[in-house]
Amino acid sequence: MKLLNKVAFVTGAAQGMGQAIVRGFVAEGAKVVAVDLNQAALAESLADLGDKVLALACNVGDGASVADAMGQAEQHFGGLDILVNNAGVGALDSFLDTPDESWARVIGVNLGGTFLCCREGARLMVKGGRKGAIINLSSTAALTGDGPSHYCASKAGVMGLTRSIARELAASGIRVNTLVPGPTNTPMMAGIPDDYMQALLKNVPLGRMCETDEIARVAVFLASEDASFMTGQNIAVNGGMAFI
């Protein structure tokens, strides 16, 4: 039970990697505040976990929504030890045809949302005097450039954000690391055209997509004392698609 009695906050938790991370954390003894835009779908997908999970609606791109969710986490579970910024969006825009609105949405959720949750989550950890762990989800696309410009830029920004706040929060005993998945078997990936998917997989030396539970196991490691001397690092789980 590597996370016994720890309180975690996981964004984008209704499906895919987020849901797998919630389940992985609960299996290791944590209590989890699971947030997503769609609270009904979220509550249904995690109903079997009972009172170990608090399901909340939250728009990570809106500061007031994030602050409210963090407040509810404090009120319900008494504080915060672990934050996982998994919520993300994409769009299949070519660079020359990218609308302003699409650029703003992808950057606003993937990078802006990570910033807002990191800020509020770290404030709550410092307030409670807890030596916490923050895990930000980036993407191998940030390294390879294989993907829409706004998506790649947002995920590269997450890596820079992680390094900056890892240095600043170290004095408070808060570790901040980036988990960098490659192509992973999620509903978001299911929406990608098959020819594009096959081209991606040809660049994965292990020859397959990652499964969500493989991401969850690394998240458990980064959140636990097993990673107690790791901060500001990019941890790639991409089958050898790119090296960091």
Give the C-alpha separation, 14 to 208, whole Å: 24
Which pTM value belongs to this model?
Answer: 0.96
Annotated domain spans of the chain = 7-230
pLDDT reported for residue 192 = 75
Q: Spot the catalytic one: 151, 176, 184, 227.
A: 151
Mean pLDDT by 10 residues, the chain (244 residues): 98 97 98 96 96 98 98 98 97 96 98 98 98 98 95 98 98 98 87 80 92 98 98 97 90
Instruction: Report the distance separating Cα 178 and Cα 130, nearest Å.
Output: 20
151 annotated active-site: yes
pLDDT reported for residue 225: 98
- Give strand ranges (E) for the chain: 7-11, 31-36, 53-57, 82-85, 133-137, 175-181, 234-237
CATH number of 7-230: 3.40.50.720
CB 107, CB 56: distance < 8 Å = no
DSSP string for residues in 205-241: TT-SPBPHHHHHHHHHHHHSGGGTT--S-EEEESTTS
